[in-house]
Amino acid sequence: MSARKAAVSGTPSSRDDVLRYLKMWLRHPIKLGAVAPSSAKYCATMAACATTDLDGPILELGPGLGVVTQALVDKGVAPERITSVEYDPGFAATLQQRFPRINVIRGDGFDLDATLGERRGEKFAAILFAIPILHMPQEKRQALFSDYFTRLMPGANLTQLSYLQTAPVKPVDGSFRVSSSPIIWDNIPPARVWIYSQAEAGRMAA
């Protein structure tokens, strides 16, 4: 079976998905952080910026109903390499149904030691991050990303969905470098992919 056939039922970002997002956003605006799934162009950019060409597992935090997951699969990432951590039980169940070959964990992306359990020491080839963090103070965001950096393989990067026009997480003592994609206007709202690379890494994904 080709990687593209990993999605079995329902197309991410269908009209039903948009309604489901909207309903969820009305109930939990801070936790969801978006009124609609990211656009296809946005998701393709996120997947393109991530260092998935490194040999290793991929960690997706805040996958929602799987639009970025689908973009990873479309890029040619084997579904078995992907672990997606989603807090909402309904979203997590739909995601596992759509992508039976990825590893879906219903858990908290802010507490990866607990969420990953026995896999807590694993190093990832890329982390794709879409959990809202703008409610957190800058120091807490930096501590969170510092923790994520300890989970990356050498040369691997962390990519973040954000609607901000400046980097949502500022580098601490030059410990990592930040760049971004151009703004993607067809996303609702328009957004960028923020790319955080290890300071010592001699490579950039974008």
Ligand X SMILES: C[S@@+](CC[C@H](N)C(=O)[O-])C[C@H]1O[C@@H](n2cnc3c(N)ncnc32)[C@H](O)[C@@H]1O
Query: Where on the chain is the footprint of ligand X (CB under 6 A)?
Result: 31-34, 37-38, 61-64, 67-68, 85-88, 91, 108-110, 130-132, 161
Nearer to ligand X, 160 or 198 (CB): 160
DSSP state letter for 42: H
Question: Both ends of the chain: CA-CA distance in Å?
Answer: 30
* Residues 145-177 as b or e (16 or more Cβ within 10 Å = b): beebbebbbebbbbbbbbbeeebbbeeeeeebe
Compute the least distance from the CB of residue 149 to ligand X, in Å: 18
Nearer to ligand X, 102 or 131 (CB): 131
The C-alpha torsion from 196 through 198 and 199 to 202, rounded to 10°, is -110
Q: How far is CA 184 from CA 13, 32, 41, 191, in A?
A: 17, 20, 7, 5
Nearer to ligand X, 109 or 176 (CB): 109
Compute the least distance from the CB of residue 95 to ligand X, in Å: 9
Compute the least distance from the CB of residue 181 to ligand X, in Å: 14
Compute the least distance from the CB of residue 108 to ligand X, in Å: 5
Nearer to ligand X, 184 or 198 (CB): 184
